[in-house]
Amino acid sequence: MDQFLCTIGEIGIVPVVRIERAEDALDLGRALLSGDLPIVEIAFRTAAAEQAIRSLASGLPDLLVGAGTVLDLDQVKRAFDAGAKFIVSPGFLPKVVDYCTTNNIPVIPGICTPTEIEMALERKLEVVKFFPAGASGGLEYLKAIAAPFGALQFIPTGGVDAANLREYLSFPRIHAVGGTWIARDTTIAAGRFDEITRLAREAVGLTLDFTLAHLGINERSAESAMALAKRAAELFLFPVKDGASSLFTGAAFEIMKSPYLGDHGHIAISTSSIQRAIAFLRRKGVAVKQETAREREGRLTTIYLDIEIGGFAVHLLQR
């Protein structure tokens, strides 16, 4: 898959923005970056769109900038020349799609029917936009039309917001979601960029859905681990489950039978998407210990980070 399409999937959310004044573009981009959301799709629906893309692409290199609502070849060329890294159209426009694929420009055309999905597969596309998602029947409709078509990934847009974001992302065929609620044109025009930062950070939090899963405690031996597990069970009425290298007391404590990573033990953080969590933390400068990765049925389920918090190692856990 194209590098920029992969990045969209790692982020998981695409703010779709209509901007009226190009001079607001950099403030908008900084607000999104401050909210840990390094991506924006500028809708080609205003006279300011082209210059806004140009300003963002040249002024904020850490922001992935795309052009949306692209309806013809002239707009494709103008958007790409301005610095857009991907093109999004509301429907399936064969001339636009064919031009982009011929010229190695990442393109995400809109689909709403099985016939349009077949058109995308015929052109060997891997990601399409599902639009308008809400008005077309939402997630249940998408599941129905996606079922016969293999591994094609979708970006639902239209009717997606903070209330249903998690529901959409729970479907494995969702590459990302697109929405206007994070940076509305009225919010931009009013200069409320702090509100955009707040909504961006909230959306990222919903996408990753980090939760404390359990606390791991290093013990010196199997005997001392069992003694501690029994004491915790006595105090909190948790059941004890014995395993090969550790004991679980309820879901709260994992007691290691011999010291493992971390001076004191480890903190397990669960997430709805371990791959997006890794990408998010990488942007924060936090690496992973690849040798600690564990998989189940070909999917990554747990991996340790290359940091400690208060003497505790930290690992991610796929929920």
Across all residues in the chain, what is the average pLDDT? Answer: 97
Distance CA 113, CA 95 (A): 19
| pLDDT tens sequence across 109-142 | 999 999 999 999 999 999 999 999 999 999 999 9
| pLDDT tens sequence across 72-108 | 999 999 999 999 999 999 999 999 999 999 999 999 9
| pLDDT tens sequence across 162-187 | 999 999 999 999 999 999 999 999 99
3-class secondary-structure state, position 249: strand
**Known catalytic membership, residue 308:** no
* pLDDT (mean) for 22-46: 98
- Where do the CATH 3.20.20.70 domains begin and end in the chain? 3-208
Greatest Cα pair distance in the chain: 73
CATH assignment, 211-318: 3.10.180.10
| Active-site residue, from 10, 41, 219, 254 | 41
| Active-site residue, from 10, 50, 85, 129 | 129
- Where do the CATH 3.10.180.10 domains begin and end in the chain? 211-318
**Known catalytic membership, residue 129:** yes
Topology of 3-208 in CATH? TIM Barrel (3.20.20)
For the whole model, what pTM was predicted? 0.94
Task: Dump strand ranges (E) for 79-197.
Answer: 87-88, 107-108, 110-111, 127-130, 153-156, 177-179
Q: What pLDDT is recorded for position 314?
A: 98
